[in-house]
Amino acid sequence: MTFNKRSTADQVTEDLDLSGQVAVITGVNSGLGLETMRVLAARGAHIIGLARTLEKANEACAGIDGETTPLACELSDLASVRECGLAIKAMGVPIDMLILNAGIMAPRELTLANGVEMQFATNHLGHFLLLQHLLEPVKQAKGRIVILSSAAHMTSNRRGIDFDNLDAGLGYDAWRFYGQSKLANLMTAKALVKRLEGTGVTANALHPGIIRTNLGRDAGGFLIRFISIFAGLIEKTIPQGSATQCYVAAHPDLDGVTGEYFSDCKRASYSKHADNEELVERLWQESEKMVAEYL
Phi, psi (deg, nearest 5) at residue 112: -105, 150
Nearest C-alpha neighbor of 28 from the set 129, 97, 87: 97
SS3 state of residue 71: strand
Q: What is the set of active-site residues? A: 172
Contacts for 107-113: CB closer than 8 Å, 24+ residues apart: 107/174, 107/218, 107/219, 108/174, 108/218, 108/219, 108/220, 108/221, 110/168, 110/172, 112/167, 112/168, 113/76, 113/77
Whether residue 178 contacts residue 152, with contact meaning beta carbons closer than 8 Å, is answered with yes
Whether residue 246 contacts residue 147, with contact meaning beta carbons closer than 8 Å, is answered with no
SS3 state of residue 266: strand
Query: Nearest 5 degrees, angle CA 148-CA 129-CA 203?
Result: 40
